[in-house]
Amino acid sequence: MTLDYLFGNNTNQLFNNKEIKYKLSHNTNRLRFIFVDDELFASVRANGTYALTINAAKILLEHPNYMINSVVIMDDVGEFIKENGSVFSKHVIDAGNNIFPRSEAIIINSKKELIGVGKALTTALIMKSSNKGAAIKVRHV
């Protein structure tokens, strides 16, 4: 249910034939890591949100409504983003409706090739309409 809430209806169906394991924090005994088929899917933050990995992004891109959590960037800035660690608003072509400040964003190009994942710094509307400032702090490329 948490996956459906954070990433869109029926996201949980992507995991029907996958093995899911959890690891608890030694200090707090709360959920800390989620593994899918023995690969790290996400770290669970203290506020309950997920910090996605590249593996998680690959799985979530299989969902028909993948775009609600994705940001499409210009094709020619992928290398710049890998070096710089940020996606700037001027590079954003489109952004999904589920992109809000501090939410997880899957970064793709116009060919639906995965560039990375990161934390949104602004809303989808501002990313699409602005030509100034950082839009996403990239965590994994």
Architecture of domain 2-140 in this structure = Roll (2.30)
| 57-64: average pLDDT | 92
Return the domain boundaries, the chain.
2-140
Q: What is the pLDDT of residue 119?
A: 95
Separation of alpha carbons 36 and 73, rounded Å: 27
E strands, the chain, are 20-24, 31-36, 39-44, 50-52, 70-73, 86-88, 92-95, 104-109, 114-120, 134-140
pLDDT of residue 1 exceeding 80: no
pLDDT of residue 12 exceeding 90: no
Q: Tens of pLDDT along 83-108? A: 888 999 999 999 999 999 999 999 99
Rounded to two decimals, the pTM is 0.90
Q: Is 60 helix (H, G, I), strand (E, B) or coil?
A: helix
